[in-house]
Structure 1
Amino acid sequence: MALAVCVFCASSSKIDKIHVELAERVGAELARRGHSLVSGGAQVSCMGAVARAARAGGATTVGVIPEGLVDVEISDGDNHELVVTPDMRSRKGEMDRRSDAFLVLPGGIGTLEELFEIWTARTLGMHDKPLVILDPTGVYEPLRALMTGLVDQGLARAKVFDAVGWTASVDEAFDLLERSQPRIEATPEDYAEAEL
């Protein structure tokens, strides 16, 4: 089944080329498997690389970019559709609405913000869209250790790890995205404590 896969990734121009090459591999594999891409709408860095590779493989790409970043991030006019939103919050909402699954590549604080919002909503049972972190170079290992520590200290529930797939392999990342993932049922305590 074809999915609209939202890829969260870096748009920094000072990024190591290994991350850009990963984005290219992801875009090519996405196209090979017959999926479409939803991304942040910029033509720079990993964001541009994943979209170009997806289009080169025949995939449809949709870019979603806030008005204030059109010039800063150099919007990718080659997308099949470029959606310009008023701000970052509406950008994330539009990306969420248009996507069937989420794939997170190495990135900075913007990528982390996107990851945590989707991860939180999935943990609370607000959606059942697959979420996968693809981390072949260990960028997110400190995050995994942090989350494990939060669970160990009772500040987060163990179900946070049920809400996300974690892999170092592009093939496995797409296998996880394509696999039906059960909805996580939130308990009243999840909401009352406001801790995940």
Structure 2
Amino acid sequence: MRADSDKTVDAEVWPEGSLEVLSQHEADQLRNVGQGGLYTLLRRCLLAVLNSGGNSDDAREVLGRHKDFAVRFEQQDRGLKVILTGAPASAFVDGEMIRGIREQLFAVLRDVVYTSNEIQASGRFDLQSSDNITNAVFHILRNARVFHLPATADLVVCWGGHAISREEYDYTKKVGYELGLRRLNVCTGCGPGAMKGPMKGATIGHAKQRIGNGRYIGITEPGIIAAESPNPIVNSLIIMPDMEKRLEAFVRVGHGIIVFPGGVGTAEEILYLLGILMHPDNEDMPMPLILTGPADRADYFKQIDEFIGATLGPTAQGRYRIIVDDPEEVARQMLLGLKSVREYRRQQGDAFYFNWRLAIDHDFQKPFRATHDSMRGLQITRDLPTHKLAANLRRAFSGLVSGNVREDTMAAIEQQGPFEISGSAEIMSLLDGLLAGFVADGRMKLESDSYKPCYVVRV
């Protein structure tokens, strides 16, 4: 192993805890850079893990800065050996890879190989079928050993932006601390900002309660991982194949959800969840949902609430609570909500580790690829059924996430101009105002001063 002057490291690493051995076919897939090969995808995800703690959310900048990074795989008697060239030195301490990063590195290998061979290529799952998509999500999570038995309702999903202020970040830590004191575990999108803060706070709460097996679950997907590198607190990293399966994984394994201030990605998550909760089959299902932030972010939540009321209506507004500047109350209310979840699932005979009963319309499961044509073609009008409107609004925000962080989408926007979003005048006016607020508050990118909108809203 050697440290280079440009702060990169060459290293040999053996797996720990997952994917100790590969078949010859799997090893060939990982080495293959051509069609059907996994090398390009794998290199991208592995670099993101090794770049943990990086201060850039520009995927192209990260990949360009480490253009010499390479990975090789060797099968040996003692198992799989991964050979890294030009890896970020920040992943190492005194010449040895940080253990948490090492575990995450092989979690990437595990999930990429399993999804490719067992989910996509095996023929076992008809991924055009709603039930089969849910089954695929379950199998990926089970293979990642997310399910612990005996299980209880104690996993709180925390959503929020990666580009947030120091004040907002500190607030997420305070909420996480209160959750940890109440012996609750945390699941986030695994990146920085509001995805890291609750985990960091929960570690202190767990330590004070002498909890040595706290769970800090991070769920991501290949399209955004390079821009939102997993934070090192995550002790259970899962790579889902696309955004829709990532979102479904959150709501199937989580028992309650807390939303902190964020940008278009957070708005996408809120609309996804509310669109699902408004399904008639989910009307009586408890799913505690709390929107919270520091005192001077009250206007942010007011704007979000008004947008939801004007688009999805008062029924959707009734599915969440807004609590401002009170971390203890957030945790107390979440604990009460989780009690209702436990009682409901016991009455129904449902599993605690995976919410099979939650009804998710196929519109929320179909992968959406953001292109100029697909964004232009979204129907966002008053005459749509509410769940259809929620699904299309979710897609619009998903496209903006892609335009902000995915290198292929960013390149397409540079060539063809910004995405065009159109629809009914009232909704477009609200959408334009909401997005303008995100831009003004620096919620779109870490480099907010140089942010150029990737969209145009048209009536």
TM-score, with length taken from structure 2: 0.37
Task: Provide closer, same or farther for how the CA distance between residues 173 and 156 of structure 1 changes in structure 2, counting only shifts above 3 A.
Answer: same
Aligned to 2:246: 91
Which one of the candidate residues 317, 329, 343 is aligned to 1:172?
329
Offset, 1:30: 1.1
Q: Which moved more, 1:18-27 or 1:61-70?
A: 61-70
**2:319 equivalent to 1:158:** no
| Equivalent pair of 1:104/1:132 in contact (CA under 8 Å) | yes
Which one of the candidate residues 198, 216, 240 is aligned to 1:61?
216
Q: Distance in 1 between matches of 2:227 and 2:384?
A: 39
Which one of the candidate residues 48, 73, 86 is aligned to 2:196?
48
Aligned to 1:4: 155
Residues 19-168 of structure 1: pairs in structure 2 closer than 5 A = 19-42=168-191, 44-58=192-206, 59-125=214-280, 126=282, 127-136=285-294, 137-138=297-298, 139-148=300-309, 150=310, 156-168=312-324
Q: Distance in 2 between matches of 1:73 and 1:104?
A: 18
CA-to-partner distance for each residue in 1:103-157, whole Å, 9 max, x for gaps?
Answer: 0000111011101111222233424211111133212111223344x2xxxx644
Q: Distance in 2 between matches of 1:145 and 1:56?
A: 36
CA-to-partner distance for each residue in 1:20-50, whole Å, 9 max, x for gaps?
Answer: 11111111111011100010011x2221222
| Equivalent pair of 1:27/1:49 in contact (CA under 8 Å) | yes
Aligned to 2:385: 194
Offset, 1:63: 0.5
Task: Provide closer, same or farther for how the CA distance between residues 78 and 167 of structure 1 changes in structure 2, counting only shifts above 3 A.
Answer: closer
Task: Provide closer, same or farther for how the CA distance between residues 128 and 31 of structure 1 changes in structure 2, counting only shifts above 3 A.
Answer: same
Aligned to 1:186: none
Q: Distance in 2 between matches of 1:140 and 1:162?
A: 14
Q: Structure 2: 5+ residue runs without aligned partners?
A: 1-151, 207-213, 345-382, 388-459
Offset, 1:2: 5.4
| Equivalent pair of 2:158/2:194 in contact (CA under 8 Å) | no
CA-to-partner distance for each residue in 1:72-99, whole Å, 9 max, x for gaps?
Answer: 2111243221111112111111111110
Counterpart code for 2:290 = V
| Equivalent pair of 1:165/1:176 in contact (CA under 8 Å) | no
Q: Distance in 2 between matches of 1:71 and 1:147?
A: 30
| Equivalent pair of 1:40/1:64 in contact (CA under 8 Å) | yes
> May I ask how many residue pairs the two structures share in their alignment?
180
Q: Structure 1: 5+ residue runs without aligned partners?
A: 184-191
Counterpart code for 1:131 = L
Offset, 1:194: 1.6
Q: Distance in 2 between matches of 1:77 and 1:142?
A: 33
Offset, 1:163: 0.9
Task: Provide closer, same or farther for how the CA distance between residues 88 and 156 of structure 1 changes in structure 2, counting only shifts above 3 A.
Answer: closer
Q: Which moved more, 1:30-39 or 1:164-173?
A: 164-173
Instruction: Give me the identity figure in percent.
Output: 18
